Structure 1
């Protein structure tokens, strides 16, 4: 129970982050078990890769398009799995503290798919050996890292032996180590770079105040003012609270559009996250 409580505390209020970590850890365990079973029974372990890892051959990907997503969940190195989980937990919890959990999913899935697409493109130009595969969610994790660096560059991160370091420098070092220290093919490095660039682009998009949920909020506000006319005191109170949330949200979004996301105070960022979570439930 203590481990479960610690896990929930580390992830904060984000269900999206918790489920991402659970899925990645569970599928990593399945990969390790398959390696053991294949070694003991004499089965060909590559059968698993052919169905779920992302091939460098475009024709194979066309037959198995789901591998653009499933390759993110495959890990055959314990260290690879552990470090990706830790980095995702660290930067994912920071991101979801101030932004909706859906942004985390958009960054993770979008960065992973973007990295996979450019892996295939690079491999077709000789960036990888024929018949090779890519596995792991490094491109997706780098997307989350780089978005955090764009959205909250000055946030202090306390590191052992180094003290407080700005988030942008921590993220930059992690990204460079992953891209240039992975020891993979050129196509793998390009996949990692594209994952990071996806995060930069999405972070810039959000920082400019172009919230993807803004129109949804506006539509909900319009519908609320028309539909929620009730003599039931509890429903009327709930409608009034929701209306106040929309008004406050509009104020915060207007401030972001005029002065950018960094113009918000830490309290306003937390308030924005909480209001977004309440409205999107």
Structure 2
């Protein structure tokens, strides 16, 4: 058992591993809740488990939300069903690795968190504004990372619309068509039994699209979140002892929340020869053959068009 915890801890502390960290957080929460559910059920205290889940779910009712505002964050790290978390994490992994490669770990976190928050706001807003849902407001609650995962998926599809995934039985499909299919599916199911979840998908999808479009025009919606992450990292980071010499003092610090890999804003603007060389490499070997720096240079060049 200790070996499993060691593996989790090792994966979580690796650098350039932000996507895996997000997946691990969701997985650990899922497994912890599953264990708690078994313990409470065997102890004939199932009502305690229901109370715990209610503290993590996002309610549609504004009155309930005021009492537990943290649920706007906790709901998109919480799952109860195995296939729910499995689909969400696979979806997140497939598209998240593209965002991580081209835009860096900070922007992957921003897409995930902002998409989850936007999905929650869309869910509460639509349930309270449209008469069709008024009768369900008091009893409706939501959990799951679908909205956050949709934000990452649509963000990747907006950034790299012609990138292809090889799907079983279907072959290579451009990711813009995959994202479009799931958006239409969510819209079609917005009056079904999981209406709240599907409405949240649309909020997350819209956020992912706008995040990339604004980023391409020079506006980064994630800047307030980056500042918060940096503050949080410094607040809980232990200061290592200073190494003192007769000339200077050296302080070495390591980031604990996200990778410090270069972002597109720190990459120098490539000249036309570099761009042509990158495009030639793509035509010969595909997007996957590009290095992280080449991908970020290509994105940097696209912002100037």
Is it true that 1:186 corresponds to 2:186 in the alignment?
no
Match of 2:123 in 1: 119
Deviations 1:14-62 (A, max 9, x none): 3221110100011111222232223222221320122111111112211
Alignment counterpart, residue 149 of structure 1, candidates 157, 165, 178: 157
Where does 1:90-109 land on structure 2 (aligned, <5 Å)? Answer: 90-109=94-113
Match of 1:238 in 2: none
Is it true that 1:57 corresponds to 2:61 in the alignment?
yes
Q: Which runs of 5+ in 1 are unaligned?
A: 217-231, 233-244, 256-261, 277-281
Distance 2:60 2:202 in 1: 17
Match of 2:141 in 1: 133
Is it true that 1:198 corresponds to 2:207 in the alignment?
yes
Distance 1:192 1:132 in 2: 16
Match of 2:238 in 1: none
Relative to structure 1, the CA distance from residue 246 to residue 39 in structure 2 (aligned partners, 3 Å threshold; closer, same or farther) is closer
Relative to structure 1, the CA distance from residue 194 to residue 250 in structure 2 (aligned partners, 3 Å threshold; closer, same or farther) is same
Match of 2:35 in 1: 33
Match of 2:268 in 1: 250
SS of 1:158's equivalent in the other structure is strand
RMSD: 3.7
Match of 2:275 in 1: none
Deviations 1:112-145 (A, max 9, x none): 0111112122222352341321000100000001
What is the Cα deviation at residue 13 of structure 1?
Answer: 6.8
Match of 2:25 in 1: 23
Distance 2:266 2:27 in 1: 38
Contact 1:249–1:272 (Cα < 8 Å) also in 2: no
Higher helix share: 1
Is it true that 1:163 corresponds to 2:186 in the alignment?
no
SS of 2:69's equivalent in the other structure is coil
Distance 1:71 1:18 in 2: 19
Contact 2:189–2:195 (Cα < 8 Å) also in 1: no
Contact 1:49–1:133 (Cα < 8 Å) also in 2: no
Distance 1:40 1:247 in 2: 54
Distance 2:202 2:93 in 1: 20
TM-score by length of 1: 0.71
Distance 1:160 1:189 in 2: 25
What is the Cα deviation at residue 71 of structure 1?
Answer: 0.8
Distance 2:184 2:74 in 1: 25
Relative to structure 1, the CA distance from residue 89 to residue 185 in structure 2 (aligned partners, 3 Å threshold; closer, same or farther) is closer
What is the Cα deviation at residue 209 of structure 1?
Answer: 4.5
Moved more, 162-171 or 22-31: 162-171
Match of 1:48 in 2: 52
Contact 2:115–2:205 (Cα < 8 Å) also in 1: yes
Q: Which runs of 5+ in 2 are unaligned?
A: 227-246, 248-262, 273-278, 300-305
Contact 1:145–1:171 (Cα < 8 Å) also in 2: yes
Relative to structure 1, the CA distance from residue 248 to residue 34 in structure 2 (aligned partners, 3 Å threshold; closer, same or farther) is closer
What is the Cα deviation at residue 206 of structure 1?
Answer: 2.2
